[in-house]
A and B are shown apart, each in its own frame.
Chain A
């Protein structure tokens, strides 16, 4: 019981602090915090808003898992941003060019996305083990090279051909549209068997199922396989892991490739939704995913809650804009403060735990000596 309380104390404390600071920020500029929170929660109770939250949380969760695979090994893969952007672009292009039976078509898109993401992240891993380049630095550089370089180049090079007399416009901007056989089906119908009707133009992305499978797979990999054990032990104590026969260099490259492969899935949510890659594809999911991973402490379940929370906040910003009770930017502030407060709180709780364990051990030893 005490253990559970200690574990919950950190996120709850961080949440409380966030509410206090954001209330102050709202109040300082003349908004009513209670009205704002009321609007946010009130809309979240509606089914259609919940669908939006699920659809937003899905890529965030995938991005968080990608980041956390590296974090578990103390490899800071800051490059999820570039990996998913590049992967989604190449996968959409390949998906638009080939025509295959449905299952195969979807599988090809998935494989290409994971391969591109894995290769781009793996490059940082290889540079680390062969040249000793810090992963943080190389992934930051590779982000810029991917987004402002390769992606910018390929987006123009791969612009879909225009029909007779058609000019470039918002509707035809992007890669060649993927044929319906290549689009992962929605699960709206399945969800509606448990809930009421969802608005027609608001489908539940099939990637939600993929994200859940990846989450479960991540849990199993981490806790039920030798590889997962090696991964965790390399992160906790690289010297001990090496002494135990874990090849450190191979682990780094494999972990990076795996991390990048999951990152490759992040952008597919939007690609399947739109049916192609558009130049204004959502950016920033990689950095947000790092936030979600930190908030969820790299645990599959924790990250799921964190992704839903961030998804809820993202969607609330739209709601606040509609109702006008407060400036929508307050939501981003809440995310930022929550993140910083949470990492501090986790560290404080961790230290208290270590101190208590030390005291308990000392007491046990003292009793042993006395007896």
Chain B
């Protein structure tokens, strides 16, 4: 896609991504027209996509900060669980906004623990992460039992509310109901145009404040990491800590800051899970491994915020579609999309003279196509694992093109070489 033309590449990032998004919806519209379903571009699906992508997005951004400072954080899952519990407890005890703050702080505390173990004591980063993933659910289980009277769940919580965008999605301004332009366009039933309107409307109507905060954190993270002195120093800690040290950067402090931010973001992801946006209560096991998926989104997104957003949205799309697709026809249509994507990978690999990759992707594409032709619906387990299969395939075909921070996973000692 990036090879289209130099002039396209010169466009601002935001416009390029809008073009990509339109192309994505176009592809969905085409697939939708072939496979007998009308769900792929509908507003409820785009809304589900956004909701379910939020925890993964926030965990992914958390993983980004830690990785960029050279600390692998597989404890994201545990920190997310801390955020879930403290978010629910804070919301029940002091109100929804306090829940957001307390949950974030809870996640940050998990990050502090990880920083203490890995940066100060030099414990292997994977080991510390595994230990935190065991400790955090244990701690919240105990706290739940003692505070809520049940080890697995809390009472229902209240959220911080949601918002309709005026004019585009009919939100009201000072009590005056603005026109719902996207709904009007969606009702025209024009091929593709109405699909875009309907899909966008799902994102802009009834959008929770938490979703707005989470999505806003994508450009904010990019700005902090690439446009501030703090970000530069944080990244040098993950690329060339010795070089940073020689320039007088306190590497320990930046690693600490990065891992605490990482925990805070994962904690906020947990807050989203236990807020009414998703579960509406703390429920054990409701993190559902989304911290790990966030970790995968970081790799999928090649350690860049927009890439992570894309990975999270893909996950949210597949997951949300499955929830709203009781007869399995829409998920079935996705198989065709898988086949097309794999075919694209095969073509790409062959132009790059990578025969093995081309053949492998081609075979998988044919397999997906045959499956699509030979079946009417897909089983539920397939939709459950599709996000993981996609990540694994992306790694299989593109691992060599990904670039991780140079000093990731390495223990750093001040004054060591």
User: Which residues of chain B in 284-334 are interfacial with respect to chain A, using CB atoms and an 8 Å cutoff?
Assistant: 289, 292, 295-296, 299
Contact (Cβ within 8 A) B399 A132 = yes
A contact set with B: CB distance below 8 Å: 25, 29, 76, 78, 127, 131-133, 136-138, 140-142, 144-145, 148-150, 152-153, 287-288, 290-291, 294, 327-330, 332-333, 335-337, 339-340, 343-344, 347-348, 351
Which chain B positions have C-beta within 8 A of A288? Answer: 134
Contact (Cβ within 8 A) A291 B381 = no
Assembled-state Cα–Cα distance A140/B292 (Å): 7
Contact (Cβ within 8 A) A347 B388 = no
A329-B151, A339-B134, A340-B113 given; A127·B142 CB < 8 A: no
Assembled-state Cα–Cα distance A150/B122 (Å): 38
User: Which residues of chain B in 96-142 are interfacial with respect to chain A, using CB atoms and an 8 Å cutoff?
Assistant: 113, 117, 121-124, 126-128, 130-139, 141-142
B6 at the interface (CB under 8 A from A): no
Contact (Cβ within 8 A) B396 A133 = yes
Chain A residue at minimum C-beta to C-beta distance from B404: A134
Contact of A137 (CB < 8 Å), options: B122, B295, B379: B295
Which chain B positions have C-beta within 8 A of A340? Answer: 113, 117, 128, 131-132, 135
Assembled-state Cα–Cα distance A335/B138 (Å): 8
Contact (Cβ within 8 A) A287 B133 = yes
Which chain B positions have C-beta within 8 A of A127? Answer: 392, 395-396
A141-B388, A340-B131 given; A329·B395 CB < 8 A: no
User: Which residues of chain B in 129-182 are interfacial with respect to chain A, using CB atoms and an 8 Å cutoff?
Assistant: 130-139, 141-142, 144-146, 151
Contact (Cβ within 8 A) A336 B134 = yes
A127-B396, A327-B145 given; A137·B385 CB < 8 A: no
Interface of A is mostly: helix
A340-B132, A340-B135 given; A329·B145 CB < 8 A: yes
Which chain A positions have C-beta within 8 A of B144? Answer: 329
User: Which residues of chain B in 379-404 are interfacial with respect to chain A, using CB atoms and an 8 Å cutoff?
Assistant: 379-382, 384-385, 388-389, 391-392, 395-396, 399-400
B74 at the interface (CB under 8 A from A): yes
Which chain B positions have C-beta within 8 A of A150? Answer: 381
Interface of B is mostly: helix
Assembled-state Cα–Cα distance A131/B393 (Å): 11
Contact (Cβ within 8 A) A291 B121 = no
Contact of B117 (CB < 8 Å), options: A290, A330, A344: A344
A145-B385, A153-B379, A339-B135 given; A294·B399 CB < 8 A: no
Which chain A positions have C-beta within 8 A of B382? Answer: 149
Contact (Cβ within 8 A) B117 A332 = no
Assembled-state Cα–Cα distance A329/B121 (Å): 28
Closest 3 CB pairs of A and B: A336-B135, A332-B138, A149-B385
Contact of A333 (CB < 8 Å), options: B126, B138, B388: B138
B contact set with A: CB distance below 8 Å: 72, 74, 113, 117, 121-124, 126-128, 130-139, 141-142, 144-146, 151, 289, 292, 295-296, 299, 379-382, 384-385, 388-389, 391-392, 395-396, 399-400
A136-B126, A149-B385, A344-B117 given; A141·B131 CB < 8 A: no
Contact (Cβ within 8 A) A333 B128 = no
Chain B residue at minimum C-beta to C-beta distance from A332: B138
Contact (Cβ within 8 A) B113 A330 = no
Instruction: Give 16 pairs: A residue, B residue, CB < 8 Å, sorted on A.
Output: A29-B146, A131-B396, A137-B296, A144-B388, A148-B384, A153-B379, A287-B130, A294-B130, A329-B138, A329-B151, A332-B141, A333-B138, A340-B128, A343-B128, A347-B121, A348-B121
Contact of B131 (CB < 8 Å), options: A145, A152, A294: A294
Which chain B positions have C-beta within 8 A of A76? Answer: 126
Assembled-state Cα–Cα distance A153/B380 (Å): 9
Which chain A positions have C-beta within 8 A of B296? Answer: 137, 140-141
A29-B146, A148-B381, A351-B122 given; A141·B392 CB < 8 A: yes
Chain B residue at minimum C-beta to C-beta distance from A144: B388
Assembled-state Cα–Cα distance A142/B292 (Å): 12
Contact (Cβ within 8 A) A145 B396 = no
| Minimal beta-carbon separation of A346 from chain B (angstroms) | 8
Which chain B positions have C-beta within 8 A of A137? Answer: 295-296, 299, 391, 395
Contact (Cβ within 8 A) B138 A291 = no
Contact of B135 (CB < 8 Å), options: A133, A337, A348: A337
Contact (Cβ within 8 A) B127 A294 = yes
Which chain A positions have C-beta within 8 A of B122? Answer: 347, 351
Which chain B positions have C-beta within 8 A of A136? Answer: 72, 74, 126
